[in-house]
Amino acid sequence: MSWILRLMGLFYAATGFVYVRTYAVNAVADRLLEALDGLPAPKERIKRLWLTLGAALTVGSGLALLTLSGWILPFMVANAVVQGGWLLYARIAFPPEDEEDRAGRRQTTNAFLVWCVATAIALFIVTGNRQIIESGMIQTLLPPVGSVALFGWLMVQK
**How do residues 53-109 score in pLDDT, each as one tens digit?**
998 999 999 999 999 999 999 999 999 999 999 999 999 998 999 999 899 999 999
CB distance 9 to 65 below 8 Å:
yes
Please indicate whether residue 136 or residue 158 has the higher confidence score (pLDDT): 136
Is pLDDT larger for residue 102 or for residue 155?
Answer: 102
* Host H or E run for residue 23: helix 2-37
Residue 71, Cβ density class (10 Å: 0-12 exposed, 13-18 middle, ≥19 buried): buried
- CA-nearest of 125, 138, 148, 124 to 64 is 138
Q: What is the pLDDT of residues 20-49, one digit of tens each?
A: 777 777 667 667 777 777 666 677 778 888
Do 76 and 30 contact (CB within 8 A), yes or no?
no
DSSP secondary structure letter of residue 131: G
Q: Collapsing DSSP states into helix, strand and coil, what is residue 143? A: helix
Coil, helix or strand at residue 20: helix
In sequence order, which ranges of 38-136 are alpha helices (DSSP H)?
A: 42-67, 72-93, 99-128
Nearest of 50, 117, 59, 111 to residue 85 by alpha carbon: 50
16 falls in which pLDDT band (50, 70, 90)? confident
- Closest Cα to residue 158, out of 51, 27, 38, 55? 27
**pTM of this structure:** 0.84
Cα–Cα distance for residue pair 35/55, rounded to 1 Å: 25
Is residue 158's pLDDT more than 60? no
Q: What pLDDT was estimated at residue 77?
A: 97
Identify residue 70 by its one-letter amino acid code: G
- pLDDT value at residue 44: 74
